[in-house]
Amino acid sequence: MVPFTLQLCCDSCGYKQEVSLGIDAGTRHIGVSATTSKAVLFEAEVQPRIDLQEVLATRRQFRRARRNRKTRYRACRFLNRKKPEGWLAPSVEHKVAVHLKTMRLIHHILPVSRTTIEAAQFDLQKLVNPEIEGKHYQEGPQLGFWNTREYVLWRDCHTCQRQLQTPHRHSESSYMLT
């Protein structure tokens, strides 16, 4: 929430280290790390809001209900629904804003000279088989299965991968009359 910082009481002679900022961009968690060549200066995990879609849907429902209650003969509005150029969905806009806010905060605290943002998606088929090309991408291991769930069940031989050692709720003694 609030980073821990130290403020020096004496002059530091103008010496500044090369500080490198690394950001791992994610949807639910944003990893942040500021390092020098010798040490890690700052590490954080930022959690942006993920409930934005639900909040906006609730607001829209309340607005529609209010309009239906108050304006019986409201004129039709359909020509003002054009999205402006460069419009982003509110959830994507929030994600970008959180990334920028985090970067500004760290730049305010530390003299960052270089910023690296990791925004990569890994090609899992290429990791397994580096020579894969063209048509073989479409004929991956899930070919012929209706959905991912069906493929995972087949892959795991229809066995549960989470071994729970919990007793049954209803044992024989619970059904006995006393």
Structure confidence by residue, pLDDT tens digits, 19-34? 999 999 877 888 999 9
Looking at the chain, the whole-number percentage of residues with pLDDT higher than 70 is 88
Same domain, 64 and 145: no
Does one domain contain both 106 and 145?
Answer: no
Confidence band of 169 (pLDDT split at 50, 70, 90): very low
Number of domains the chain is built from: 2
Does this model's pTM top 0.75? My answer is no
Q: pLDDT band at 177, cuts 50/70/90?
A: very low
How confident is the model at residue 104, as a pLDDT? 92
pLDDT of 110 strictly over 70: yes
Q: Is 24 strand, coil or helix? A: strand
- Is the distance from CB of 114 to CB of 17 less than 8 angstroms? no
**Is 107 in the same domain as 49?**
yes
Query: Which of 150, 147, 46 lies closest to 97, judged by CA?
Result: 46
Q: Are 113 and 19 in contact (CB under 8 A)?
A: yes
CA angle 68, 71, 77 (to 5 degrees): 85
What are the CA-CA distances from residue 49 to residues 8, 82, 92, 166 (Å)?
Answer: 34, 27, 11, 34
Q: Identify whether 151 is part of a domain.
A: yes
Q: Which of 33, 44, 50 is nearest to 95 (CA)?
A: 50
End-to-end CA, the chain: 56
Strands (E), 36-153: 40-46, 112-118
SS3 state at 46? strand
Mean pLDDT, residues 142-162 taken together? 85
What confidence tier does 71 reach under pLDDT thresholds 50, 70, 90?
low
Instruction: Confirm whether 68 is domain-assigned.
Output: yes
